[in-house]
């Protein structure tokens, strides 16, 4: 059992709470940084090591075997009288949902960069996600001890590639194997980690002679940047008046919370240097719930804007941001409490599902260890045991004072595979296992192909699906046969077209009659589907309109060209007729389905495929052969850039061409090429490829 998380009174003032996430590109050192934070704050007695599989935050068997983070893990610790709730998130793009939902409920973020690699693709992705939810953040340039580490270069990339306004708070002392510590530009002192190998203590000494001038220049830039965000300070700065450290800190905190600047720190988590200043920055500059003051939502009864103050005295409101299946407790719900308090054994109202849910127990989590509590307060991230129907993104509130908070949006899956039980007797067990996993993970979708009877599971990448299959085996004892991964193609239309469909069936007694006229139009990429009801004068009675829409959606899901789901189109129902006796829901549903198929055939059907953003890091001598191989895969080269002794090639490549790409790249580059890919967008498949796909299916 974990040591007691709550060593102090938990109902701490709101301004003493920090809810932060550690986010970054894969292999930048997020989990290592989190492990150091836990050690230095006294939360753990031993530093966890990824290579040894002893980390606290990566607790799943699959995480320890692969040395990667798969699920976000939450914990609570204390630093300088402040309570810090931390979420460590995955860096791999296949688990982007974990980052998305964590950012939705966090107040601040620590973005970790690799000092040699700089700003990588996934760094850009998580940065955009943080922008979407307006999360104030600080940067930590990690791995300063690595060969090729470049602090200034990484700061410049943060400015250029992320469009951020970085404020450098430290200067590194030495780099690569010579990295000893950092210069604190506010205190104008050197912090050197020379006291013990675990880095728990460091010496505060005078700045080395050769670094005094650069430190003064850097401090001048820091003060200028902070002064630009505050009129009173700017006035002092322009009149060369003395500005105190306290004034700078106060203005910097306000600027960080207003997303105007991003403080930048540096160090090496693995070598235990430079982490404590980041902890101080979390406390000094990232917002508390009190700084954010209020949260906005919608009143579900009036659809008017509703405001809740982030205070324990307000009416209760929380957001369920993660569902997990715990082997000991069953289904648990991670929730961020925005306002009010919640007691164990009480009832909450799920506003999205319009249902009362009982919260039988409340838990505080430390990765996979738990501690029972009686009351949860606003500003906390806790786990609820009891709710059965709550899903990711649902709002829980006081039934008498309802509010609907902004939901969490997730990307669509891009890859799928067929799965079937090893024996017929296991069919029910498989359905149960898939249902449980899709409850947990909003980017994991399951559907049955009624024509083939196959169960199809879809996710964000091959690794994502591989780990889900592995979890079914380990956690649920479910051994299954899986097919080869299949690309999630989609169909759409390229022009406007009309169609009319009549479904008339006369049998003995009551017949069937459904008649509708529809018009289809293409929409922009990623806009999905829109249904417009333009029936005038009641030509089709109102109760049958939803049936037409249902028929249209059913036909779209089956596809018309090659059987892939349709997307990015608008369907307008503009006329039709009904029969007083014979018209029925089923007749209009069939008519809607027939009309869509007919209209789609006239509207220039196109096949769309997912395009991946591919980044390949290769030694320079393999650049030509790698680019040639990407081009042969219908890849579009976007450019390349030098990074140390390597070259990074960037390209857009259809996912359908990237099956087994890691193996291909290894053989081309003698095992020295490193690929990174993430879903980018959908594009039209060339006609010759569509033709060969159609031929191979027939």
* Residue 665 pLDDT exceeds 90: no
Q: How many residues are given for the chain?
A: 698
Q: Which residue has the higher pLDDT, 357 or 506?
A: 357
Whether residue 338 has pLDDT greater than 80: yes
**46 — pLDDT class (breaks 50, 70, 90):** low
Q: Domain 491-603 falls in which CATH fold?
A: Ribosomal Protein S5; domain 2 (3.30.230)
- If you classify domain 17-291 with CATH, what class do you get? alpha beta
Which distant-in-sequence residues (6+ apart) come within 8 Å of 691 by Cβ?
none
Strand order in the sheet with 529-533: 497-505, 512-522, 569-577, 529-533
Residue 609: name the closest of 690, 550, 685, 686 by CA: 685
Give 564-614 pLDDT, tens digit per residue.
899 999 999 999 999 888 889 999 999 999 999 999 999 999 999 999 888
| CATH architecture observed for domain 415-488 | 2-Layer Sandwich (3.30)
Does domain 294-405 sit in CATH 3.40.50.620? no
Say if 17-291 and 608-697 have the same CATH topology: no
| Gap between the Cα atoms of 277 and 193, Å rounded | 12
pLDDT at 350 over 60: yes
Question: Would you say residue 546 has pLDDT above 50?
Answer: yes
Predicted pLDDT of residue 177: 87
Measured in whole angstroms, the distance separating CA 336 from the mean position of its chain's CA atoms is 16
Alpha-carbon distance of 426 to 452, in angstroms, equals: 18
Average of per-residue pLDDT values in the chain? 84
Q: How far apart are CA 335 and CA 74, in angstroms?
A: 11
Domain ranges of the chain: 17-291, 294-405, 415-488, 491-603, 608-697
Which tens digits make up the pLDDT trace of 472-527? 877 777 778 888 778 889 999 999 999 999 999 876 667 889 999 999 999 998 88
Angle at 605 between CA 604 and CA 607, to 5 degrees: 140
pLDDT tens, residue by residue, 80-109: 888 888 876 765 555 666 677 777 788 899
Does this model's pTM top 0.75? My answer is no
**pLDDT for the residue numbered 451:** 60
Contacts of 234 (CB under 8 A, 6+ apart): 227, 228
Tokens describing residue 196: 């013990």
24-58 CB burial, b ≥16 within 10 A, e <16: bbbbbbbbbbbbbbbbbbebbeebbebeeeebbbb
Q: Which DSSP string corresponds to 233-248?
A: HHHHHHTT----HHHH
Phi and psi for 452 in degrees, rounded to 5? -100, -15
For 632-649, how does the pLDDT look when each residue is reduced to its tens digit (9 = 90+)?
Answer: 999 999 999 887 778 889
What region, left, alpha or beta, does residue 469 occupy, with left being phi > 0 and alpha being psi -120 to 50 degrees?
alpha
What is the C-alpha radius of gyration for the chain, rounded to an integer number of angstroms? 28
In three-state secondary structure terms, 676 is: strand
Q: Which residues contact 195 (CB under 8 A, 6 or more apart)?
A: 201, 202, 203
Mean pLDDT of 602-629: 91
pLDDT at 51: 45
Rounded to an integer, what distance in angstroms lies between the CA atom of residue 339 and that of residue 570? 40
Tell me the C-alpha distance between 682 and 656, whole Å: 12
- The closest of 590, 577, 596 to 529, measured between CA atoms, is 596
To the nearest 10°, the Cα dihedral for 380, 386, 391, 393? -20
**Is the domain defined by 608-697 classed in CATH 3.30.70.240?**
yes
């Amino acid at each position: 059992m974990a040591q007691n998380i709550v060593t102090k009174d938990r109902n701490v003032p709101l301004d003493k709470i920090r809810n932060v996430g550690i986010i970054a590109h894969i292999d930048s050192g997020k989990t290592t940084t989190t492990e150091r934070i836990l050690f230095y704050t006294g939360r753990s007695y031993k530093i966890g090591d990824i290579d040894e599989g002893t980390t606290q935050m990566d607790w799943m068997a699959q995480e320890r075997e692969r040395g990667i983070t798969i699920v976000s893990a939450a914990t609570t610790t204390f630093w300088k009288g402040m309570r810090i709730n931390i979420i460590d998130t995955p860096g791999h793009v296949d688990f982007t949902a974990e980052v998305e939902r964590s950012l939705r409920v966090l107040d601040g973020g620590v973005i970790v960069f690799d000092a040699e690699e700089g700003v990588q693709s996934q760094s850009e992705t998580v940065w955009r996600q943080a922008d979407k939810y307006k999360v104030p953040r600080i940067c930590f340039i990690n791995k300063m001890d690595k060969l090729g580490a470049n602090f200034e270069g990484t700061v410049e990339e943060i400015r250029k590639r992320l469009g951020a306004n970085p404020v450098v708070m430290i200067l590194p002392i030495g780099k690569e194997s010579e990295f000893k510590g950092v210069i604190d530009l506010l205190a104008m002192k050197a912090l050197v980690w020379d006291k013990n190998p675990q880095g728990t203590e460091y010496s505060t000494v005078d700045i080395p002679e050769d670094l005094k001038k650069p430190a003064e220049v850097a401090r001048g830039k820091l003060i200028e940047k902070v002064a630009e965000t505050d009129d009173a300070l700017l006035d002092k700065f322009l009149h060369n008046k003395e500005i105190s450290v306290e004034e700078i800190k106060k203005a910097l905190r306000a600027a960080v919370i207003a997303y105007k600047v991003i403080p930048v720190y540096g160090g090496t988590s693995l070598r235990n240097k430079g982490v404590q200043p980041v902890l101080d920055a979390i406390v000094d500059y990232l917002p508390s719930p009190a700084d954010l003051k209020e949260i906005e939502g919608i009143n579900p009864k009036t659809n008017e804007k509703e405001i809740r103050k982030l205070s324990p005295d307000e009416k209760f409101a929380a957001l369920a941001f993660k569902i997990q299946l715990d082997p000991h407790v069953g289904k648990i719900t991670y929730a961020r409490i925005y306002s009010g308090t919640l007691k164990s054994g009480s009832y909450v109202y799920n506003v999205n599902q319009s249902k009362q849910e009982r919260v039988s127990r409340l838990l505080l989590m430390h990765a996979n260890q738990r501690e029972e509590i009686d009351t949860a307060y606003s500003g906390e991230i806790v786990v609820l045991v009891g709710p059965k129907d709550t899903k990711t993104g649902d709002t829980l509130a006081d039934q008498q004072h309802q509010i609907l908070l902004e939901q969490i949006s997730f990307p669509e899956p891009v890859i799928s595979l067929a799965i079937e039980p090893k024996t017929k007797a296991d069919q029910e067990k498989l359905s149960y296992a898939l249902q449980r996993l899709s409850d947990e993970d909003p980017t994991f979708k399951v559907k049955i192909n009624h024509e083939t009877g196959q169960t199809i599971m879809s996710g964000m990448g091959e690794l994502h699906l591989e780990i889900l299959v592995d979890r079914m085996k380990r956690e649920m004892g479910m051994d299954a046969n899986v097919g080869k991964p299949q690309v999630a193609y989609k169909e759409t239309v390229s022009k406007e077209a009309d169609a009319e469909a009549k479904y008339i069936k006369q049998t003995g007694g009551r017949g069937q009659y459904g008649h509708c006229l529809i018009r289809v139009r293409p929409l922009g990429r990623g806009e999905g589907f829109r249904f417009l009801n333009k029936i005038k004068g009641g030509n089709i009675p109102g109760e049958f309109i939803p049936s037409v829409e249902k028929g249209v959606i059913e036909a779209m899901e089956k596809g018309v060209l090659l059987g892939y789901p349709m997307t990015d189109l608008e369907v307008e129902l503009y006329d039709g007729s009904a029969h007083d006796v014979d018209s029925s829901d089923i007749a209009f549903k069939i008519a809607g389905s027939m009309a869509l198929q007919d209209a789609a055939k006239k509207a220039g059907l196109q096949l769309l495929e997912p395009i991946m953003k591919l980044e390949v890091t290769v030694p320079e001598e393999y650049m030509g052969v790698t680019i040639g191989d990407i081009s042969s895969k219908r890849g579009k080269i976007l450019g390349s850039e030098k990074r140390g002794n390597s070259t990074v090639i960037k390209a857009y490549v259809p996912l359908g061409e990237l099956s087994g790409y890691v193996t291909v790249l290894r053989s081309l580059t003698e095992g020295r090429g490193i690929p990174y890919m993430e879903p980018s967008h959908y594009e039209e498949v060339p006609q010759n490829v569509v033709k060969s796909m159609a031929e191979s299916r027939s």
